[in-house]
Amino acid sequence: MLETWHKIWTWDQRQYRTYTGDFEWYDERSIDPKEAQIDIYIAVDEKMIAKTNTIS
């Protein structure tokens, strides 16, 4: 999880982030901590992000 947030924090197009509503979504896929899958949503300016790529 920390590695993923680090990628988000150092994303070379972070100027498109709005910092208004980043969150993690935990569901049944996150029950086992060793195999957890967690969705991360970050707020971006959709007018600006449409002109660029997604996070990879």
pLDDT for the residue numbered 54: 55
Q: Does residue 38 contact residue 24 with C-beta atoms inside 8 Å?
A: yes
pLDDT for the residue numbered 15: 83
Q: Dump pLDDT digits (tens) for 24-55.
A: 999 999 999 999 999 999 998 887 766 655 55
pLDDT for the residue numbered 49: 63
Question: What mean pLDDT is predicted for residues 9-29?
Answer: 89
pLDDT for the residue numbered 37: 94
Would the pLDDT of 9 be above 90? no
pLDDT for the residue numbered 13: 77
